[in-house]
Amino acid sequence: MAQYFAIHPQNPQPRLLAKAAEIVREGGIVVFPTDSCYAIGCHLGDKTPIERIRAIRGVDDRHHFTLMCRDLSEIAHYARVDNAQYRLLKNTTPGSYTFILEGTKELPRRVLHPKRKTIGLRVPDNVIAQSLLVELGEPLLTSTLLLPGEELPLNDGEEILERLDAQVDLVLDGGACGIEPTTVVDLTGGAPALVRAGRGDPAPFGLERP
């Protein structure tokens, strides 16, 4: 059974954050709110919870996970970022964007796209997500909490607990946070490419919504 913490959206309780980080370090799966919608995440270095998340989401190894980072410097540690990419990231983080970038050797191969060796990265603009990342001291490997066959992500902590009680280890309920996923921008080519139009405005990348 999953643990359930009702956590304050603006002043997250340090005791609960510390326990959440401990659960992640021990290989647990946590569900938590972000600036777009609820995410499901685990420790970067553990293979088993990654496979568990793939099973929950109903996705294969071609699905891009998102490495959720505290700040831009952490992104630059796990992805190859040139000067032009850095300027774009600096102007749009934190925010509701996921960036597709080439991963560095700091990342396990199993979390990279098998052919392109890329990964999605983001810096959330959400107090709970940021506080959890700070407490953990490293990024979280995450995915949108969108279940197989459903069009919209789950957005109610109690419903999440009811439906995923046997599949996750912790639900951090910070209240409703939205149901629109991040805007995904591929920065690996010569110019930014819009992969998915979501909550973030694509205009800073010279892109328009379809």
All domains of the chain, ordered by start, with CATH? 3-200 (3.90.870.10)
Q: In Å, what is the CA distance from 72 to each residue of 100, 117, 137, 167, 177?
A: 14, 20, 14, 32, 23
Separation between Cα atoms, residue 165 and residue 163, nearest integer Å? 6
Average confidence score pLDDT of the chain: 94
SS3 at position 14? helix
55: CB partners within 8 A, 6+ apart: 167
In the predicted model, what is the mean pLDDT of residues 24-30?
97
Indicate the SS3 state at residue 73: helix
Determine the pLDDT at residue 96.
97
Structure tokens at 98: 């996921």
User: Each residue of 108-123: pLDDT tens digit?
Assistant: 888 888 788 899 999 9
**Average pLDDT score over residue span 46-67:** 90
User: What does the alpha-carbon distance between residue 139 and residue 156 come to, in Å, rounded to a whole number?
Assistant: 24
pLDDT at 11 over 90: yes
| DSSP 8-state secondary structure symbol assigned to residue 64 | P
Would you state the pLDDT for residue 65?
Answer: 87
**What integer is the mean pLDDT of 77-106?**
95
Pair type for strands 97-102 and 118-122:
antiparallel
pLDDT, tens digit, for every residue of 183-194?
999 999 989 999
Entry pTM: 0.94
Structure tokens at 110: 């199993």
